[in-house]
Amino acid sequence: HATTAALLFLLCYAVLAYYLFTQHAFVLPVATQTVDWGKDIDLVLSFSLLAWAYDFPTVTRFCVPLTAQEKPSDRALYLLAPAVGVMSAVFFMGLLGLVALQMTGDWNIALLGKSLPFWGEISAIGVILAIAHTNAMNLYPAVTKLLAVINVAGKPHRFMQPAIVVLLGVFSALLAIAGILEFIEGFLSMLGSLLFPFSFILVIDWYHGKYYSDAVSLFYQRVYIWTDYFLWSAPWAISMLISGLVLAQLGFLMAPAIIHLIPWQICSAAITGGIYYMGIRFMEQRGQRRKMA
């Protein structure tokens, strides 16, 4: 289903792009003011990270274990495939939307269907259906991840999954009706402030924990003693996540010549991740010294 939707999406977009460049005068977008490279890089990376967060559960579901016969080059290509696939799509769609905005006054070329011949209208409908199908498929891993958290914290209920699917779907539809796309840049910036430090913490946990070689069942054991929620590692991770959010908002304290050139959100998340790792190492070494004493 996902492959069919992707092919339909690409085919319909190709038709719409053809009509865009044949029925409108090509106008190359030109910057009218100084480019804020740091903010733009953060925006692209936050969009890419959001798409990666959607796709990652699906990618890991079909992962194959590492074998001794596997070449390092093949493994490197396998590891880079999700990032390259996501970011190439973000760049392509972003550039096409920017050109369409300059040529037609609207970044969404699917809206060209209302003034196009029959095949243009069909392509516009195809793009809308492909996007709707993709969003529906993205809703599934989002629900499963949310259910995994809820089921660990409390007793699962048989109606929980359909109820959460309906609630999230209705909430997303209401956001779309309210016009969240009109504030997409601020929305992605807000998500980036949260996702960047969160992702750094997860990656550090992954490598520091030796790729989580423990049994999968250990991650889904329910906590029965309330004090177990406050083991030092959990408050430390939460405090670092909050610190990363706060640090990302302090970019205005830096000189404009610097903050306009560096992606401060990703830099602040890297700083937060480094402090988080040093804290983990310090607590581990402290525990080892206590055992030796």
| One-letter-per-residue 3-state SS of 52-70 | HHHHHHHHHHCCCCCCCCC
Range of 82's domain? 1-156
**How confident is residue 275, by pLDDT bands cut at 50, 70 and 90?**
very high
- Tokens 């599934």 belong to 140
- 6 and 143 within one domain: yes
Asked whether 82 and 55 are in contact (CB, 8 A), the reply is: yes
Residues 117, 55 share a domain: yes
Contact 124, 116 (CB under 8 A): yes
Nearby residues of 115 by Cβ (< 8 Å), 6 or more positions away: none
For residue 230, tell me if it sits in a domain.
Answer: yes
Asked whether residue 206 falls in the same domain as residue 263, the answer is yes
pLDDT at 74 over 70: yes
Shared domain for 194 and 150, answered yes or no, is: no
Residue 47 lies in a domain: yes
Q: Is residue 68 part of a domain?
A: yes
Q: Which two tokens stand for residue 16?
A: 């719409």
Mean pLDDT of 83-90: 75
Which whole-number Å values give the CA distances from 62 to 74, 78, 184, 210, 293, in the listed order? 16, 12, 31, 21, 47
What tens digit of pLDDT does each residue of 108-119 get?
777 776 677 776
Any domain includes 162: no
Count structural domains, the chain: 2
Give the pLDDT mean for 122-137: 71
Q: Tell me 154's DSSP state.
A: S
Distance CA 104, CA 93 (A): 16
Please check whether residue 149 lies inside any domain of the structure. yes
Tell me the whole-structure pTM to 2 decimals. 0.67
174, part of any domain: no
Matching residue, tokens 């093949």: 74
Does one domain contain both 55 and 105? yes
Same domain? For 147 and 13 the reply is yes
Per-residue pLDDT tens for 167-194? 877 887 888 788 777 777 777 777 778 8
